[in-house]
Amino acid sequence: MLLSKQAQAWRTHESWETLAKRAGTDKIENQYVKVYEMWLAPWRHEAVNSLEIGLGCDMQYGPGKCLRLWESYFTHRDVRVSFLEVDGECVKNRDMKLRNGTMFLGSLDDETLLEKIAAQGLAHGGYDIVVDDSGHTMDQQFTSLKALWPAVSSGGMYVIEDMHTSHIP
């Protein structure tokens, strides 16, 4: 019997790094490996509710790499992996489908959308993990943190990647 890649990852306990390399995400190049391996391990086989801001539509390696990473890393059948992406055409043209989660389309400047994302997270017990890998400016990082922090579950984590860009207003 052939097993899906997700089942294989669970069965062989492939590391976050191995799965990230297979997915083709830039999270390997940015040296997040040790941090993610350590902090995500307790949630690996749990019914995680996660949100990543930014699908990678503007990246040279192509969009959806983190989608593949998260859906293979988290093994529980009830895991929810959601994304917020500003480039709706990219999502539409690439036919991005989530196994169990929501693809939110819009800008970090849209407070109504951020409220909707927070409400949906809370409706599912809060986001266990939020990864902000999007706007990369201090204002955008602050806006998303302010709007989404109340929707992070007790004991959850909120990661802002690429903090070296935060000097850009």
Catalytic residue of the set 45, 76, 124, 136: 136
pTM, two decimal places: 0.85
pLDDT tens per residue across span 109-129: 899 999 999 999 999 999 999
Confidence band for 164, pLDDT divided at 50, 70 and 90: low
Quote the percentage of the chain above a pLDDT of 90: 44
Q: What is the CATH superfamily name and number for domain 5-165?
A: Vaccinia Virus protein VP39 (3.40.50.150)
Q: How many angstroms separate the Cα of 51 from the Cα of each of 4, 55, 152, 169?
A: 23, 10, 10, 24
- Ranges of each domain in the chain: 5-165
Active site (annotated) includes residue 136: yes
What digits encode the pLDDT tens for the residues 13-42? 788 889 988 988 877 776 778 888 889 999
